Every structure is written in structure tokens, then in C-alpha cells.
Structure 1
Amino acid sequence: MTNKRLIFGVVGIFAVAVSALIYSVGRDSGPAFIDPADKAFVIQGKAIYENSCAACHGVQLQGQPNWRERLPNGRLPAPPHDKFGHTWHHPDAMLFDMVKNGLVPGKTAPPGYESDMPAYATMLSDEEIIAVLTYIKSNWPPKVLQAQKEVTMQRRE
């Protein structure tokens, strides 16, 4: 069972790396660094997160149990958005695109990837998506936030 988890973990990391590479080649410009110091956006984002995201990603940003292990349908459970997940490994433009358009195979996900993540383009405005991301990022410790900022700024150069 341990070997199976290791294989799934390696495959998951590889899938994230491939999706980030694919995304970085064909990305649209997105928001600059989303600063969680904007308290008004944090408050707005928390309310939107609780209504639109918490059912899958958890009220405490903890994600679904066993989020690295595929479900019987082959899809992965919703990952956490706290410091223990991989959300902070992605630049802001990619996070924005994932929320707005869902996980798009060949763009923000590996080719052929299927996800339960809906696209929120018709449900949330760009400002509301940024508010949600602001709220999520406001929960990260300074070191995690700084690492994510560096990833975001490198992608903008």
C-alpha cells in the first residue's frame, strides 16, 4: 500500500509540474500578485469562499480527505488551500484561471485530465475571484506567502 501511495504521489507531482509548464507556455496575462493585506477583499472573499468553495475545499481550507488519492471515478478529491496543499505552488494568474475556467486539459491541467472543479466564469466576477484568492492567501504563513509571491513574480517576467 505504501508503494501505491508513493507512485500516486509521484504521478500527482508530475501532473502538477506538467500542468504548470503547459500553463506557463500558453497563459493569458492574469492579475499581478494578489496581496492578502487588502482586508476588504479578505472579508468579501471569505463570504464568497464559504458560499462557493467550502463545500469541497473545506471551511478551514483543509480540502477533502485523502486528496492525493484518486477516487473510483479516476478523479482527485478537492485539495486543501492551506499551507499543506499545493495551491501556493502556483502563480496568481494560474490560480485565477483555474477558478474562472476550471481545470482545462492542456492549459491548467495535463491533457486528458478530468476534474470536478467547476468553472466560475458565469457565477463570479473577476473581482470576486480575486477576493476569494485574497482570502485564501490571507491564511498562509509569511514564508508560504513569500514563496508563492516569488513564483507569481517569476511568471510575470
Structure 2
Amino acid sequence: MSARKVLFSVLGIAVAGLGLIGARPWLAAQISNGDASATTIALGKTLYTKHCAICHGANLEGQRDWKSPLASGRMPAPPHDASGHTWHHPDGVLFRITKEGPATVVGGGYKSDMRGFGNIMSDDDIRAVIAFIKSTWPEQEREYQAEMSRREREKTQ
């Protein structure tokens, strides 16, 4: 078995084990970058700049030392470019984190400085932001993330 297949298997099991896979309404949020129009990506970039860049960086670079807790004990905003872990998550998880906030996805009393944006942006706006972020990733990261999303959809059908 190739290292890539092993990695997909391990990550798929890990995501399922966290309870992030399931027939839930937020899974209707599948974002296929192949289907995202230039208009949608442009809207996503505008919304990202307005709502996300203040923490995640104008160039999706995240906050400095994003893997180390802040003095508050909370984690800094991670990058959304290829150097971060955003592309490790399937569409439904990315949508839910954005809409409801990471604490609702991670559970276990997790505390985050990121709030959910469900009362600020529409579902389509959230999908546009995610489509913009995905449009910046190199092909390998986009393919990996698309595979994670495909697996997520299969598990919920």
C-alpha cells in the first residue's frame, strides 16, 4: 500500500473517530473548487479579507507560532495556505468550523478565539470563502482535500 493511501486511511479513521462524519445538515455544504466560478472565488476573497484576514492573515499565512498556545491557553489562528492544516479537512468540516466555530467541532470544552460566522455570513458566503481558500492551494493539497471530501460524502450517503 502506498504511503498516500495509508495517510488517507489513517486520517479518514481519525476524522470518523472524532465524530465529525455523519449525516448532518452541514454536509450539504460540499464545496467543489472545480465548480467554483471566478465570481464565487472573487466574492470569497472579498469576504475573507473582510472577516478572516485580521486573524488568519492577508496572505492566508496565519498568526506567528500558530502551533504554540497563546498566553490565554488558546491556539493562534492557523494559516489557510498550504503550510497549514486546513487542506487536511473535508468540506463539511471546514464549513461547520466556519459557520459554528471550532469549539463545536472539536468538542471536549475546546476554547477558541474564533467565533462562528453563521450569523454574519450566509451559507453561500461561507462556501465562497472556502472556495477562495481552496483556490490558493497547490494541486497536491487540492487533490488530497478533494479525496477527504469525497470520502466524507460516501460515508454519509
Q: When the two structures are superposed, what TM-score results if normalisation uses the length of structure 1? A: 0.82
Q: CA deviation at 1:26?
A: 6.9
Moved more, 136-145 or 29-38: 29-38
Matches within 5 A, 1:59-74: 59-74=58-73
In structure 1, distance between residues paired with 2:119 and 2:113:
16
- Higher deviation after alignment, 112-121 or 28-37: 28-37
Structure-2 residue corresponding to 1:31: 29
Q: Within the alignment, does 1:87 sit opposite 2:89 as a pair? A: no
- In the aligned structure 2, how far is the partner of 1:20 from the partner of 1:127? 28
**Alignment partners' CA distance in 2, 1:151 and 1:93:** 10
Structure 2: how far apart are the matches of 1:125 and 1:143? 29
Identity %: 41
For structure 1, the residue ranges without an aligned partner over 5 or more in a row are 1-16
Q: Return closer, same or farther for 1:20/1:87 CA change in 2, 3 Å cut-off.
A: farther
Aligned residues: 139
**Residue 44 in 1 paired to residue 33 in 2?**
no
Post-superposition shift, 1:74? 0.7
- Distance (Å, rounded) in 1 between the aligned partners of 2:126 and 2:106: 19
3-state SS of 2:120 partner: coil
Structure 1 residues 19, 121: CA separation in 2 closer, same or farther (over 3 Å shift)? farther
Moved more, 47-56 or 17-26: 17-26
Pick from 119, 127, 130 the counterpart of residue 122 of structure 1. 119
- After superposing the two structures, state which structure 1 stretch, 55-64 or 28-37, moved more: 28-37
Determine which of 140, 143, 148 is the counterpart of 2:140: 143
Distance 2:141 2:78 in 1: 16
Residue deviations 1:40-95 (CA, integer Å, cap 9, x gap): 11100000000000000000000000000001111000000000100000000110
Q: Counterpart of 1:23 in 2: which secondary structure?
A: coil
User: Which residue of 1 is the match for residue 149 of structure 2?
Assistant: 152
Deviation at 1:30, TM superposition (A): 2.9
- Secondary structure at the aligned position of 1:63 is classed as coil
Alignment of 1:53-64 (within 5 A): 53-64=52-63
Q: Which runs of 5+ in 2 are unaligned?
A: 1-13
> TM-score w.r.t. structure 2 length?
0.82
Distance 2:23 2:146 in 1: 20
Please say which of residues 137-146 and 36-45 is displaced more in the overlay: 36-45
> What is the CA-CA distance between 1:21 and the residue it aligns to?
2.1
Q: Which amino acid is the alignment partner of residue 40 of structure 1?
A: T
